[in-house]
Structure 1
């Protein structure tokens, strides 16, 4: 009986050490995320980011505009929100690393509330859904990926 308890104790101790080690050791950051999950009203899209970048040979700039002076590209929603509502207008500047990014949409770096004539024309800036559909669908059409009205569920989960 005693040997049985010793082996169980050793197994539990090893499992505890592995669990503590997994918690304490820092996670290794991936250069290219394996996938990106996008929740939306059309059904969650699980984008195979790593496959597109490594297996299909796309460069970062093929999809992302540029990295505006930082190592990693900005999140798409920083510039392309689901809607240009008051919440986006009030907080979007926090998503950018520097003032250089402001010049994408503004003629000069905004200081305080903007007059109506100084605000960007959001009619010409695609929302996140329009940007993704324009980018993804045009690439799929050119490269032979799922494309067309009947292909929504190739990307969107039901």
Structure 2
């Protein structure tokens, strides 16, 4: 090879080594991206990741809500996919570390956010029948779980259905809020989660995309929601072009 090609060959080799190193470097050792290109039908979005990290004082958990502020949280699109189809349901368990399952799956949910005292003292004072059955069925108010069990039986609806139907009489706004309304009464418990979590449908009646937003819905809710809260940045329906490129 002629000597005049040596510099080109050396530079090509260096670029190849740099590219290979970047490809082989584990995710947790890489630096957070300066910018991220988001492809979608409405037009590509160049998200200025580094400037947002600076604005939030390095608090990753502000946007990465599953994070405990680790420096390399999961990318949004890892959980918030375009569609929760059969392929995702079949493949996603092998694509995540088992410690990350608790971000979406939880073993159970308590009702520790529900206060019986607050209801008897503030909401329906001295009117137990506002929640409990009348005396023909329930001579003295008792725990709902005394009769209503986890699963429905012949002639008796489940505890969940009984509680929800009665609570909805007053708190219909909780149920209209969908999964976000659950935390008004329930607290998620992740302790003791098994390596093979149950399907969402074993407890939740909503479809998966109602429980976990798709990519588009997640970005719009998180980005537009923050911009509107801060009164800074695009968030209105007429501001699409400020993020999306045609």
Fold match, TM over 0.5? yes
Q: Which residue of 2 aligns with 1:111?
A: 196
Q: Which residue of 1 aligns with 2:226?
A: 139
Contact preservation (8 Å) 2:60, 2:69: no
CA distance in 2 between partners of 1:115 and 1:21 (Å): 49
**Per-residue deviation, residues 49-108 of structure 1 (Å, max 9, x unmatched):** 11221366452111112447975111212222212211111112233222x322233324
Contact preservation (8 Å) 1:63, 1:135: yes
Match of 1:21 among 14, 19, 22: 14
What's the C-alpha RMSD, in Å, of the aligned pairs?
3.0
CA distance in 2 between partners of 1:69 and 1:134 (Å): 20
Structure 2: tracts of 5 or more residues without a match: 108-192
Contact preservation (8 Å) 1:70, 1:97: no
Structure 1: tracts of 5 or more residues without a match: 1-8
**TM-score normalized by the length of structure 1:** 0.75
CA distance in 1 between partners of 2:58 and 2:202 (Å): 39
CA distance in 2 between partners of 1:80 and 1:150 (Å): 25
Q: Which residue of 2 aligns with 1:87?
A: 87
SS at match of 2:245: coil
Q: Which residue of 2 aligns with 1:101?
A: 100
Q: Which residue of 2 aligns with 1:33?
A: 33
**TM-score normalized by the length of structure 2:** 0.51
CA distance in 2 between partners of 1:88 and 1:131 (Å): 17
**Per-residue deviation, residues 26-67 of structure 1 (Å, max 9, x unmatched):** 348652201111112222211111122136645211111244
CA distance in 2 between partners of 1:94 and 1:120 (Å): 25
